[in-house]
Amino acid sequence: MLYPEAYAKATREVRRECPHSNTIHYAEAKAKLPYIEACIYESMRIRAATGVFLPRVVPKGGATFQGHFLPEGTELGVNVAGANHHRETWGNPRRFMPERFINNGNLMQSVFTFSLGARMCPGRNLALVELLPTMANLLRNYEFTLPPSALFTPDILDEHGNPAVMPRSHRFTSVGPTYPDRDCNIIISKVA
């Protein structure tokens, strides 16, 4: 709801491409709804469900990373939010731009929300298979609006000129708004 242009574009896409589907399933959504898929990836990149420091141990013999030698046994970690907001990878990382994922599968592989490589979250594929049709069916069948009393709207900007996001109850995750009763309100109405 903080990005009305993206919401309108995603809604138009699903209502144009899947107007007669009883229930939109994954295969249909994957084939016909690239913008909604891009919105999902961009949402996961901007506000990952976790911001934890994913620990790893440098293997035997050590490793060189970006010109720095790390001795074996060194414990290090990757910051999910840091990886998802790396300026060299994402250009303008604070800006919500689903278009960056259109026709760019390589960039989709750079979203660190589920981790990467051998220790990638085993639920990643299931999550993506569920997210895409769920969002498609919701956007096709319902209208979403913010109530007049909303404190976080597209017009209230942070210091970077992006819509301000609600404060979290925990610094290391995106989950758990500080004031859920006050801030987690949205108006949902059935499409006529």
Q: Quick one: the chain helix, strand, coil %, rounded to 5?
A: 40, 15, 45
Q: In this predicted structure, what is the pLDDT of residue 61?
A: 96
CA-CA distance, 137 to 4, in Å (whole number)?
18
The secondary structure of residue 119, as a DSSP letter, is G
Amino acid type, 45 = R
Q: In this predicted structure, what is the pLDDT of residue 133?
A: 98
Q: In this predicted structure, what is the pLDDT of residue 51?
A: 61
Q: What CATH number belongs to 4-141?
A: 1.10.630.10
Ranges of residues in the chain whose predicted pLDDT is under 50: none
CA-CA distance, 108 to 106, in Å (whole number)?
5
Could you report the per-residue pLDDT of 120-141, keeping only the tens digit for each?
A: 888 889 999 999 999 999 999 9
**Helix axes of 34-46 and 124-141: crossing angle, nearest 10 degrees:** 120
CA-CA distance, 100 to 91, in Å (whole number)?
10
Q: In this predicted structure, what is the pLDDT of residue 188?
A: 93
Domain extents in the chain: 4-141
Residue positions counted in the chain: 192
Sequence-distant (6+) residues with CB within 8 A of 145 are 1, 186, 187, 189
Q: In this predicted structure, what is the pLDDT of residue 66?
A: 84
Q: In this predicted structure, what is the pLDDT of residue 126?
A: 94
CA 179 vs. chain centroid, Å, equals 21
